[in-house]
Amino acid sequence: MSNTTDSDSPKRPWLHLAIPILIVGCFAFFFLLPDKMKQGQENNSSNQKIDEGSSLRDGETYYIFASEIELFSTNPKGDPWDAGENGPDIKYRILWKGNQVFQSEEKDDSLIADWSGLSIEFDWSDLGGKTISTDEAIKAARIRNEEEGVFELVVEDEDAVDDDLAGRVEIKLDELKVGKNKRKLSKSTTNAVRRINVQVLPQGSSLKDLVELMR
């Protein structure tokens, strides 16, 4: 009678399944995904060249989001943000014409939080032929530039019971330029937002051009 030792038994049988999956995944990422992005861009027939630093055009719609927000070390009342030494959990909302038109993801335990404005959700079932449009990829408010137009950016510290207000900032559209707009704020009893970077991107531009502008 022969004995089966550990060296005779098969090792890690899951590798036989994992290797083909990894190969398919790498192929999809490096070859298929860029093609899908390109197809999605071509579907936007109204692509326009981006002139970074230019003023906003009347009647045009823009993607607007906060690429970075920094808070002061204490809340508007001068108290710690959270119990103990935990930092604030930052998120923001954009209100336009009295309506919330965008809400960001939360950034935990941060005095400085950033958002890329770009998010591509990809599933294995999409390998069959899904195209990625600019509107799907850009995570931002969509706001039309109008005379005397404004929007409000509301920054909050998310809490399990009730979100704490960090500050509300009203921003005039005619003060913005295409690209990154930096704004510094003073600490007060109603504001603990130290700095905001607002990105403005023209809707109708190609995804490639928008990504370049966000770098």
pLDDT digits (tens, 9 = 90+) for 141-166: 999 999 999 999 999 999 877 789 99
CA distance 205 to 185: 31
Residue-by-residue DSSP string for 142-178: EEE--TT-EEEEEEEE--SSSPEEEEEEEEEGGG-BS
pLDDT at 214: 84
CA distance 15 to 54: 54
Which range (44-48, 152-156, 182-186) has the least confidence?
44-48
pLDDT at 31: 42
User: Can you tell me whether residue 210 is helix, strand or coil?
Assistant: helix
pTM, full prediction? 0.74
